[in-house]
Amino acid sequence: MSFLDHIENCNRYNLTNFVPLNMGNRRVGWVKRPLIPYFAAFPDVVQCDIDDIKINPTLDTPAVLTEAMSRIGNALTESGFTSPWRHEPYAVGTRFGECLFELERAVVPAFGTRAYGLHLTGFVRDEANFLIWVPRRTLDRLTYPGELDNTVAGGQPAQLSLAENLEKECAEEAGLPSELVRQARPVGTISYHLEIEHGLRDDLIFSYDLELPTDFRPRNCDGEVEDFQLWPADQVMSVIESTDRFKFNCNLVLIDFFIRHGLIKPSHSDYTQLCRGLNS
Amino acid sequence: MSFLDHIENCNRYNLTNFVPLNMGNRRVGWVKRPLIPYFAAFPDVVQCDIDDIKINPTLDTPAVLTEAMSRIGNALTESGFTSPWRHEPYAVGTRFGECLFELERAVVPAFGTRAYGLHLTGFVRDEANFLIWVPRRTLDRLTYPGELDNTVAGGQPAQLSLAENLEKECAEEAGLPSELVRQARPVGTISYHLEIEHGLRDDLIFSYDLELPTDFRPRNCDGEVEDFQLWPADQVMSVIESTDRFKFNCNLVLIDFFIRHGLIKPSHSDYTQLCRGLNS
C-alpha cells in the first residue's frame, strides 16, 4: 500500500467495456455493455446502437427527460444493477452547474454520468503541526461502515448550490455553525474514474480546507458518524500510506491536503505522479 | 482571454506530428517528424523507423549516451532547429530523479524529453488580502523580454537537487536569504505539453509558496529582472484573466495559487476545467 496505490485504486477502468450515452453530439455518460439490453427496452427514451446509446431528441425538456430516465433507472434497480434508491436527485450535464436532466443518485453509476460531491478537511494548528478531525462511519451505514472518513463529506444534490450544500453537510455531519463554515476555503477539485460491477463512477469532488478553533469539537447530528478523533497529520499520513482504513476517495482528498500544505514533499519518489493523478 | 485560455495555450499539440524516442521499451521523448532525418544521420546512436526512434542499446552508460546525444544536439543546433546553447545540462529519465543521460537545455524540446523547473510565489498578507511580488523580465533577455514573471522561476539542471536549485534561484533572482527560502512550502506541480516549431515542450514545474515578511524587498542579483512590484492578488488575477503580460507558463502557476488559496472560487464557470487542466 502506498499513496499512489490509492490513486490507482480510484482509477481502474477500461472504457472498451462501455458505450457512450449521447445527447445530440454531447456525451453525458457511459453505459456498461451488459446493461445495454436494459436500456434498449425503452425505445421511446433511447436508441441503442453497437457503438453508442442516443437519447431520443424529442425528449427536449429537463422534466420530460428526468421522467423518462427514471423509468430506465427503476428497471435497472428492479434487475439488481443499482444500490437502493436514496431519493437524492443529481444533476446531469456536460459541466458543473448545467442540468440537462436529473437522475437518482443510486442509478448514476449505471448511467456513468458525472457525480459531484464536496469534502471538507477540518484541522487545527498546534505550533507548526497540523491536526485533522477524523470521523469514523457508523457500523450500520449502508456504505463503507466503520471506515474512516473526511471531516465532512457529501454528495451534491441537484437542488442545492454548492455553498448551501456545504453549510447543510457541515451542520449535519460535524455540527459546524454557519459562521465557521463561511471561513472554509475552496482549494480545488479531486476527480477519478472507477469501473464498478454495473457501471462507472465519474466523480468530481470540490475540496475545502477549514482551520478550526482549538476549542471546537465536531459533533455529528445525522447518525452517520460513530465518533470524531483529532489526529496529528503525521498519523493520518501514515495510516493512509499503509492501510485502507479510510473510505476509498477520502485518501485522495487527504493526499491533496498533504501536498498543498507541504507535508508530502517533492523528495517523495511518487510526488509528480501523485500531483498529476489527483485530477484524472 | 480567460484563465482557461492560458491553460489551453500551454497545451496545444498533436502527437501525430511526432514519433516516440524510445530507450528499450521505455519512451523518453518525442521527436517531430521533420527532424527524423537529422537523427537518422547518426546511425551509431539511434535507429530511425517509421513509427519510432530507438536509442542504440549498446550505448549503455549515462556518460556514453550523453556524449552521443550531444552530437545529435549539435547537428540540430547547426541546422537552426534549437535555440542557442545555454550549457545547462538537463537530466533525461522516465521519472523525476532518474538520469539515463544528460541533454543540453537548448535542445531538450527537439528531443521532446521532460524538462523540470521550479517556480516560487512570494507573497505578503495584508489583513485578509494577498499581495504578490511580481518581477518584470529585462528587455534584453533572450527569452520573453519585458514580460511579467513569477517571483522566482528557473529550470532544474541535472547537477543540483531541487532544494539546492531553489536556494540558488531564490538568491540569484530575488536576493532571498537561505533562512527565508527554508520556509518555502512545496505545494504541488504544474505540467503541460506544448508543440513548438521544432519540438515538444513536456514541462513539469515544482511550485512553492513563500509568505514573506512585510518589510522584505526582493532584489534581483543576476540581471534577469528589470524591477519588482508588490501587486494585490486581485490585480494579478485581473491581468492574467485579460492579458498575455505574464510569461506563458507563469499564468498556470498563479492560477493554481489562486485556486489553492480560495481566490478563484467554485462559482467560476471554468473552475472544474481549470483544476483538472493544471496537470496535463
DSSP of A239-270: HHHH---B-TTHHHHHHHHHHHTTSS-TTSTT
Judge whether residue A208 has pLDDT over 90.
Answer: yes
Query: Which of A156, A230, A55, A263 has the alpha carbon at shortest distance from B187?
Result: A263
Distance from CA of B191 to the nearest CA of A (A): 8
C-alpha A22/C-alpha B55 separation (Å) is 44
Answer for the pair B120, B253: CB distance below 8 angstroms, yes or no.
Answer: no
* Segment A68-125, tens digit of pLDDT: 999 999 999 999 999 999 999 999 999 999 999 999 999 999 999 999 999 999 999 9
With a cut of 50, which residues of chain B have pLDDT below it? none
C-alpha A105/C-alpha A155 separation (Å) is 9
C-alpha A228/C-alpha B116 separation (Å) is 41
**Cβ count near A78 (within 10 Å):** 10
What pLDDT shows up at residue A140?
87
Judge whether residue A221 has pLDDT over 90.
Answer: yes
Which residues of B lie inside 8 Å of A (Cβ-Cβ)? 95-97, 162, 185-189, 191, 204, 206, 259-262, 265-267, 269, 271-273, 275-276, 278-279
- Domains of chain B, each with CATH number or no CATH: 3-10+115-277 (3.90.79.10), 15-112 (3.30.750.160)
Which chain B residues are within 8 Å of A269, Cβ to Cβ? 95, 97
What pLDDT shows up at residue B128?
82
What pLDDT shows up at residue A54?
98
What pLDDT shows up at residue A44?
98
Judge whether residue A154 has pLDDT over 90.
Answer: yes
What pLDDT shows up at residue A205?
98
Judge whether residue A128 has pLDDT over 90.
Answer: no
Name beta bridge partners: A48: A53
C-alpha B166/C-alpha B169 separation (Å) is 5
The three-state secondary structure class of A23 is strand
Which residues of A lie inside 8 Å of B (Cβ-Cβ)? 95-97, 162, 185-189, 191, 204, 206, 259-262, 265-267, 269, 271-273, 275-276, 278-279
* Segment B63-105, tens digit of pLDDT: 999 999 999 999 999 999 999 999 999 999 999 999 999 999 9
Judge whether residue A127 has pLDDT over 90.
Answer: no
Q: How many beta-carbon contacts under 8 Å exist across A and B?
A: 69
**Cβ count near A187 (within 10 Å):** 21
Answer for the pair A89, A52: CB distance below 8 angstroms, yes or no.
Answer: no
Answer for the pair A205, A118: CB distance below 8 angstroms, yes or no.
Answer: yes
The three-state secondary structure class of B119 is strand
B147 DSSP 8-state letter:
-
Judge whether residue A141 has pLDDT over 90.
Answer: no
β strands within A93-220, DSSP E: 101-104, 114-126, 129-137, 152-155, 185-196, 199-211
Q: Cβ B276–A279 below 8 Å, yes or no?
A: yes
* Candidate from A187, A269, A271 with C-beta closest to B260: A187
What pLDDT shows up at residue A204?
98
What pLDDT shows up at residue A191?
98
A231's grid cell:
489526529
